[in-house]
């Protein structure tokens, strides 16, 4: 297939490009810079200049493709709500040129929006339009396209990691350095799901090849890693003390990250594994954190 990939030069996208090419697909990746375009060409992909804000550039990229993977997201989490709204507009633009065809669109969300109401593992089959996580907007936009006949499926991401980056955990490293300590909230029992980068990009490929309308997938290798385990690993790597703080101290310690640090967000990928025959095999989150090159982070 000729696949148009947004976010093609990002953390996930730059690993997804070779995964798709090695499977025999042609890839056109969206980039905003000459350096990004060169990186894409070096990897064997074509470059398409565009941005999430420029919906016409998104439409042009999707128009020429047999399939679209939307992996881009503005990761300035200090403007999370605004960026979720921007993602909704991008999804609507991509889907608008796919209507009337069976060309698949795979969009990206987070496992947190699959959480139920009673603390159970987040599930692929949960779709709650009133979920408080603003990222639900991306799936609402996708569902509107699905109702209009567009072949849309959803990839929900946990904390995606390798030894260099670890999702929302990466900003915690800078915060810990600034504060002189690695902190967690309360007893640190709250959990975050995780998935190794190599497993995640393989799942993206399987999902776009399956192209099942309305499907939701969880790229989860570990259902939940406790915030205390994460903090202790960071403390070892950074050689900083590890401390527990009260919930009311979270804003002062973490700033914009305070909205996330105490959340319990375990997630399952059992249905994903059964539906796609996908088995996560990559290293664990703690193994990657323990191998992290902190002088380079």
Angstrom CA distances, 130 to 37, 114, 259, stand at 39, 11, 18
Q: How far apart are CA 4 and CA 218, in angstroms?
A: 22
Q: Give pTM, 2 decimals.
A: 0.95
The residue assigned the tokens 């959990």 is: 191
Q: What does residue 81 show for φ and ψ, rounded to 5 degrees?
A: -60, -45
Write down the pLDDT at residue 296.
58
| Burial annotation 124-152 (CB, 10 A radius, 16+ → b, else e) | bebbeeebebbbbbbbbbbbebbeeebbb
CB–CB of 124/217 below 8 Å?
yes
pLDDT of residue 285: 97
Distance in angstroms (rounded) separating the CA atoms of residues 236 and 231: 9
Q: Where are the domains of the chain?
A: 2-160+194-221, 164-193+223-266+284-296
Q: What is the largest CA-CA distance in the chain?
A: 58
CA atoms within 13 A on the CB side of 165: 12
Query: Cβ atoms within 10 A of the Cβ of 277, count?
Result: 9
CATH topology of domain 164-193+223-266+284-296: UDP-galactose 4-epimerase; domain 1 (3.90.25)
- Output b/e per residue, 74-88; b: 16+ Cβ within 10 A: beeeeebeebbebbb
The answer to whether the beta carbons of residues 98 and 68 sit under 8 Å apart is yes
The pLDDT of residue 292 is: 86
pLDDT score of 75: 85
Consecutive H or E run containing 32: none
Radius of gyration of the chain measured on its C-alpha atoms:
19
Task: Give the residue carrying structure tokens 């939940």.
Answer: 224
One fold for both 2-160+194-221 and 164-193+223-266+284-296?
no
> What CATH number is given for 2-160+194-221 in this structure?
3.40.50.720
Q: Considering only CA atoms, which of 167, 257, 185 is closest in space to residue 228? A: 185
The Cα–Cα gap between 21 and 42 comes to: 12
Residues (pLDDT < 70) of the chain are 117, 294-297
């Amino acid at each position: 297939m000729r696949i148009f990939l947004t976010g093609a030069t990002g953390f996930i996208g730059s690993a997804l490009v070779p995964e798709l090419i090695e499977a025999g697909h042609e890839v056109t990746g969206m980039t905003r810079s000459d350096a990004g375009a060169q990186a894409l060409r070096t990897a064997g992909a074509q470059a398409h200049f565009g941005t999430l804000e420029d919906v016409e550039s998104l439409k042009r990229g999707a128009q020429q493709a047999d399939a679209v993977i939307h992996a881009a997201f503005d990761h300035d989490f200090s403007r999370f709500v605004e960026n979720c709204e921007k993602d909704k507009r991008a999804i609507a633009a991509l889907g608008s040129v796919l209507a009337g065809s069976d060309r698949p669109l795979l969009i990206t969300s987070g496992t947190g929006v699959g959480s139920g109401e009673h603390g159970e593992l987040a599930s692929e089959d949960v779709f709650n339009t009133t979920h408080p996580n603003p990222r639900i907007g991306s799936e609402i936009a996708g569902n509107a396209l699905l109702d209009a006949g567009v072949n849309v499926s959803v990839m929900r991401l946990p904390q995606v990691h390798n030894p260099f980056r670890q999702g929302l955990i990466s900003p915690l490293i800078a915060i810990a350095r600034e504060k002189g300590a690695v902190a967690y909230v309360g007893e640190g029992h709250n959990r975050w799901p995780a998935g190794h980068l190599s497993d995640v990009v393989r799942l993206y490929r399987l999902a776009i090849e399956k192209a099942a309308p309305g499907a939701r997938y969880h790229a989860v290798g570990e259902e939940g890693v406790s915030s205390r385990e994460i903090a202790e690993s960071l403390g070892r790597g950074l050689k900083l003390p590890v401390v527990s703080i009260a919930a009311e101290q979270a804003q002062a310690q973490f700033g914009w990250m305070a909205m996330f640090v105490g959340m319990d967000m375990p997630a399952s990928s059992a249905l994903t594994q059964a539906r796609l025959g996908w088995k996560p095999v990559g290293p664990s989150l703690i193994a990657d954190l323990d191998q992290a090159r902190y002088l380079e982070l």
